Amino acid sequence: MKSPKPRQTIYDIARDMELSPSTISKILHHTGKVSEATRKRVLEYVKKTGFVANSNARILKAKHSWTIGIVFSDIASFGLEHPFFGSVLQAFKNYVEKKGFEIVFIVKKLGQAELTYYEWCQNKSVDGVLLLTGDLNDPDIIELVSSEIPCVSADIIMPGLHSSMSDDKMGIELGFQHLLNIGCRSIGAYCGPLSSRAYAERTQAFRSLIEKHHTPFEESWYTNINGYGYQNAYDNALKWIASWKKAPEAILAFSDDMAMGLINALKVKGYRIPQDISVIGYDDIAFAGMFNPPLTTIRQNKVAIAESAAEILLNLINGETAEGEEEQQVHRIPVQLVIRESTRK
């Protein structure tokens, strides 16, 4: 009696058709976006070979769901169009999909049920989680990071959590040194909410540089505001500028949105940029080079952050973490100063 022919899996189809397993899965389960030509080609192959999808075969074979959860606690209220985290998410998605994984967004509700992040992940059997951004004091995030589910973040640092993010100290040092190089001695800083890890780190770096270089400094030249976005930065900058006894020669703004709001507020108050005050932003968002004046800024490498986070997470999922790296890794990605016209020559 002949042995039964081994059951064909979506991995066999993916190999034969030189496509990723996730693409085959999307087509067979009618989910996601796949080109019509690819969909037609795969369905013709499936019909020809007589393949019958087994929804559990993929999970049982590899002990994976091939799904990564995304926590995106949008404290800035930009949604997926967030000028920084939206780009990080897209690059992360591109990387893990090439490895056969799909992403799903983790929410607090599943139907009518209210779930914690951890409960949601258990329900959906995700292999790992990207904490794109969020409040490190959120009990749901603390519970998730403390669980057995592999987690990585592009924004949060906390015990037991693996993270990949920009070298914020390096960024502030590059901006500060550039201002010194062009002859600015009195330097202020415009900061967002200190509940943000990035803003807190940038503030600490700025104050250390003021002390290190013994530059003239008045406490009124530093402020941190609540909220995010251009309009909030503009409205608060008008009040901040009015509080100065005299103006600093330059200001480091800790995001490009803040820099743009500040520059327009300075113009309203009669200052010329950069003749009277030089301004540096942070992020190098798409509009930074088209602003008036084009913004000198610190460019974050969003793709490198995303791919580093993805690599760490996939290693954790596959049990390939090196000895001594099980508890926590924090990868700092170098940043770059981009000089444009908002700082004087």
Confidence at residue 159, expressed as pLDDT on a 0 to 100 scale: 86
Confidence at residue 58, expressed as pLDDT on a 0 to 100 scale: 44
Confidence at residue 279, expressed as pLDDT on a 0 to 100 scale: 98
| Residue 321, amino acid | T
Helix (H) or strand (E) holding 341: none
Q: Give yes or no for a contact between 84 and 302, defined as CB atoms under 8 angstroms apart.
A: yes
Fold for 10-62, please state it. 434 Repressor (Amino-terminal Domain) (1.10.260)
Task: Tell which phi-psi region holds residue 224, choosing left (phi > 0), alpha (psi between -120 and 50) or beta.
Answer: beta
- Helix 85-98 with 302-317: angle, nearest 10 deg: 40
> What is the model's pTM?
0.77
Angle formed at CA 180 by CA 226 and CA 225, multiple of 5 degrees = 5
Domain ranges of the chain: 10-62, 67-165+302-331, 168-300
Half-sphere exposure of 43 (CA within 13 A, CB side): 12
Fold for 168-300, please state it. Rossmann fold (3.40.50)
For 114-178, the DSSP string reads E--HHHHHHHHT-SEEEEEE--TT-HHHHHHHHSSS-EEESS---TT-EEEEE-HHHHHHHHHHH
Confidence at residue 4, expressed as pLDDT on a 0 to 100 scale: 41
Encoding tokens for residue 226?
A: 């609540």
| Residue 260, amino acid | M
Angle formed at CA 187 by CA 186 and CA 190, multiple of 5 degrees = 150
Confidence at residue 76, expressed as pLDDT on a 0 to 100 scale: 46
Confidence at residue 33, expressed as pLDDT on a 0 to 100 scale: 74
Spatial distance between the Cα atoms of 249 and 264, rounded to a whole number of angstroms: 16
Q: Give yes or no for a contact between 118 and 125, defined as CB atoms under 8 angstroms apart.
A: no
- Helix 36-49 with 21-28: angle, nearest 10 deg: 80
Confidence at residue 261, expressed as pLDDT on a 0 to 100 scale: 98
Q: Consecutive sets of 10 residues in the chain, 345 residues long: mean pLDDT of each?
A: 52 82 74 81 81 49 77 59 82 93 82 80 90 82 91 91 96 98 97 91 98 96 92 97 96 97 98 98 94 97 96 90 62 97 95
Place of tokens 């081994």: 6
Domain 67-165+302-331 sits in CATH at: 3.40.50.2300
Percent of the chain surpassing pLDDT 70: 85
Q: Give yes or no for a contact between 278 and 248, defined as CB atoms under 8 angstroms apart.
A: no
Confidence at residue 130, expressed as pLDDT on a 0 to 100 scale: 96
| Within this chain, domains 10-62 and 67-165+302-331 share the same CATH topology | no
Q: Give yes or no for a contact between 230 and 257, defined as CB atoms under 8 angstroms apart.
A: yes
Angle formed at CA 337 by CA 336 and CA 341, multiple of 5 degrees = 150
For 195-220, b where at least 16 C-beta lie within 10 A, e where not — what string?
ebbbbbbbbebbeebbeeeebebeee
Encoding tokens for residue 196?
A: 């943000």
Confidence at residue 327, expressed as pLDDT on a 0 to 100 scale: 60
